[in-house]
């Protein structure tokens, strides 16, 4: 799908664009009118060269390809050849082939060669539109999911939760996602938005810094909704009373009862219909294993370094950890393992995690974490409070996986 960046850097979709390959100018004109009414731009080409040039030079989301576009040709051979050339150029390109009633065999050959679907001529306008729009929508969803970091789901608990989230994604229902810091609330919220097929932009709001509600609608993801001031909570409840309201996904590290106690009752009625609770990582050993394999592979590719071996003993240690920073902590440990080629830090972490009394290391980590949280992860302010330079704080953050 064509994308452009808005001022806040979010990618938002522009009008989709299809390329129609057909040698009949009258059919081209009729098709252009049909698609324009549905907000779809149409480029046209009447032969092989023109089609390949259009494809290479324009941002095409889908091709509608007549298999016989030269007068007198009925075998479909030229269409099939062009289909193959187009798929070499753009492997993921959806191509819907157009063929006459007698051309079922050709249509089947085209599907085998990689066409997404086919339509018979003369086509029914509504059916053609439904086919094109459905294909564009599926492609948009797949692209949106690809643009997000992959969400690894292995444990039964997470699988159930994600299935519920996916089911509700397409509704505009407000959702609350609770879970400890680093458990994956934001990733889940982004996944829900990606699957919602909403073309409106997503706005991420830090509740503790929120002094005015955004102008635009779309989806608003609130980090730490519990930190939203009481007047702002009331203003948000008023906004949600309006007929065209934004979709809210509210995140919180508080557990549900504690969250309900701090939210304005009217806001809670709006938001609290469905609460998705992410369990802490230490309760999901299957996810620890799957995430470890994923991050080791990911970081070794990203840094161009060898992938450390994850043997049984190391797997046991990782599963026994308490992971106070949840997935964020695990991710940092695995990136460090790739960068240093050793597991040293992870064993250190596992030792500290199992000891009863806090060590100097625990205390330093906890002081740094508290300062960072107090300043909303503003490194300059946290460093000032801790009496450290920014580079010194960055080094410690890296050491502790913060
Ligand atoms: N299931 C998962 N698969 C892959 N990566 C994950 C998963 N869960 C979390 N992560 C990664 O872990 C990191 C922390 O996740 P995220 O920011 O979503 O947590 P959070 O609960 O919103 O944290 P916080 O409350 O501190 O803002 C991110 O890099 C995210 O991509």
Domain boundaries, the chain: 3-142, 156-279, 283-400
Has this prediction a pTM greater than 0.95?
no
How close is the Cα of 218 to the center of ligand 1, in Å?
22
- CA–CA dist 132, 192 (Å, integer): 24
The values of phi and psi at residue 392, to 5°, are -65, -40
Report which ligand 1 atom has the smallest distance to the Cα of 287.
Answer: 1
Closest CA to 4 of 222, 199, 246: 199
Please report the beta strands in 57-199, taking only residues with DSSP state E, as ranges in sequence order: 62-66, 95-100, 117-121, 175-178
- Ligand 1 touching residue 183 (CB < 6 A): yes
- Residue 308 Cβ contacting ligand 1 at under 6 Å: no
Angle between helices 379-386 and 390-400 (to 10 degrees): 100
Burial class of residue 243 in the structure, from the number of CB atoms within 10 Å of its CB (0-12 exposed, 13-18 middle, 19+ buried): exposed
C-alpha R_g of the chain: 27
Is 191's C-beta closer than 6 angstroms to any atom of ligand 1? no
Among left, alpha and beta (phi > 0; psi -120 to 50; other), residue 367 is: alpha
For 296-300, the CB contacts below 8 A with 24+ separation are: 296/334, 296/337, 296/338, 299/334, 299/335, 299/338, 299/339, 300/338
Give the residue, out of 327, 333, 377, with the most ligand 1 atoms within 8 A of its beta carbon, to mutate for a pocket test: 327
Cβ(325) – ligand 1 distance below 6 Å: no
Residue ranges with strand state E in 273-329: 275-277
Contacts of 375 (CB under 8 A, 6+ apart): 381, 382, 385
Question: Under CATH, which architecture does the 3-142 domain have?
Answer: 3-Layer(aba) Sandwich (3.40)
Interatomic CA distance for residues 152 and 112, integer angstroms: 32
Phi, psi (degrees; rounded to nearest 5) at 355: -80, 150
Instruction: Tell me if 331 CB under 6 Å of ligand 1.
Output: yes
265, two tokens: 């009752």
Ligand 1 atom at shortest distance from the alpha carbon of 327: 12
- To test the ligand 1 pocket, which listed residue (186, 288, 333, 335) has its Cβ within 8 A of the most ligand atoms? 186
Q: Which among 328, 329, 370 is the best mutation to test ligand 1's pocket, defined by most ligand atoms within 8 Å of the CB?
A: 328
Q: Is the CB of 330 under 6 A from ligand 1?
A: no
Of 185, 187, 208, the residue with max ligand 1 atoms within 8 A of its CB, to mutate for a pocket test, comes to 187
User: Would the CB of 289 count as within 6 Å of ligand 1?
Assistant: no
Q: Is 182 in the pocket of ligand 1 (CB under 6 A)?
A: yes
339 CB less than 6 Å from ligand 1? Answer: no
Nearest to 142 by CA among 62, 52, 63, 82: 62
Ligand 1 centroid – CA 322 distance (Å): 16
pLDDT in tens, 155-198: 999 999 999 999 999 898 999 999 999 999 999 999 999 888 77
Helix 125-147, helix 25-37: angle, nearest 10: 60
**Residue 73, pLDDT score:** 67
Q: Is 179 in the pocket of ligand 1 (CB under 6 A)?
A: yes
Residue 137's closest CA among 61, 240, 202? 61
pLDDT at 324 (0 to 100): 93
Distance CA(118)–CA(108), nearest Å, equals: 9
- CATH code for residues 156-279: 3.40.50.300
**Which backbone phi and psi does 248 adopt, to 5 degrees?**
-105, 130
3-142 and 156-279 share one CATH topology?
A: yes
pLDDT tens sequence for the chain (402 residues): 443 333 233 333 468 999 999 988 898 999 999 999 999 999 999 888 888 888 888 889 999 998 887 666 667 788 899 998 888 778 789 999 988 766 778 888 888 889 999 898 888 999 999 999 999 988 876 665 555 567 889 999 999 999 999 999 989 899 999 999 999 999 999 999 988 877 777 899 999 889 889 888 889 999 999 999 999 999 999 999 988 899 999 999 999 999 999 999 999 999 988 999 999 999 999 999 999 998 998 888 778 788 898 999 999 999 999 999 999 999 999 999 999 888 764 444 444 444 444 566 777 787 888 788 777 778 888 888 888 887 778 778 877 777
CA of 212 to the centre of ligand 1 (A): 27
What is the rounded CA–CA span in Å between residue 386 and residue 371?
7
């Amino acid at each position: 799908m064509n994308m452009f960046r808005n001022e806040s850097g979010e990618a938002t979709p522009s009008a989709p664009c299809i390329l129609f390959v057909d040698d009949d100018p009258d059919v081209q004109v009729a098709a252009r009118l049909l698609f324009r009414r549905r907000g779809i731009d149409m480029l046209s080409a009447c032969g092989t060269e023109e089609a390949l040039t259009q494809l290479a030079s324009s941002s095409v989301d889908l091709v509608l390809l007549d298999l016989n576009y030269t007068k007198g040709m009925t075998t479909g051979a030229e269409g099939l050849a062009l289909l193959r050339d187009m798929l070499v150029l753009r492997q993921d390109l959806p191509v819907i082939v157009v063929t006459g009633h007698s051309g079922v065999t050709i249509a089947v050959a085209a599907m085998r060669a990689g066409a997404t679907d086919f339509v018979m001529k003369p086509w029914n306008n509504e059916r053609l539109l439904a086919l094109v729009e459905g294909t564009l929508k599926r492609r948009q969803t797949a692209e949106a999911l690809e643009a997000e970091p992959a969400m690894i789901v292995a444990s039964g608990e997470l699988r159930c939760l994600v299935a519920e989230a996916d089911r509700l994604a397409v509704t505009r229902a407000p959702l609350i996602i609770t879970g400890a810091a680093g458990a994956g609330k934001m990733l889940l919220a982004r996944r829900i938005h990606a699957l919602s097929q909403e073309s409106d932009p997503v706005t991420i709001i830090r509740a503790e810094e929120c002094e005015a509600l955004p102008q635009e609608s779309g989806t608003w993801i609130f980090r730490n909704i519990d930190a939203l001031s009481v007047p702002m909570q009331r203003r948000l409840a008023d906004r949600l009373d309006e007929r065209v309201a934004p979709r809210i996904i509210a995140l919180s590290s508080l557990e549900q009862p504690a969250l309900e106690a701090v939210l304005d009752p009217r806001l809670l009625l709006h938001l609290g219909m469905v609460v998705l609770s992410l369990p802490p990582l230490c309760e999901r050993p299957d996810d620890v294993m799957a995430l470890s394999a994923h991050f080791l592979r990911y970081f070794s590719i990203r840094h161009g370094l060898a992938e450390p071996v994850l043997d049984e003993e190391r797997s046991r240690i990782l599963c026994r950890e308490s992971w106070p920073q949840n997935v964020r902590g695990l991710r940092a440990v695995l990136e460090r393992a790739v960068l240093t080629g050793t597991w040293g830090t992870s064993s250190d972490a596992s030792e500290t995690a199992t000891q009863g009394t806090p060590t100097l290391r625990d205390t330093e980590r906890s002081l740094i974490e508290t300062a960072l949280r107090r300043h909303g992860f503003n490194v300059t302010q946290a460093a000032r409070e801790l009496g450290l330079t920014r580079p010194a704080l960055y080094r410690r953050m890296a050491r502790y996986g913060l």
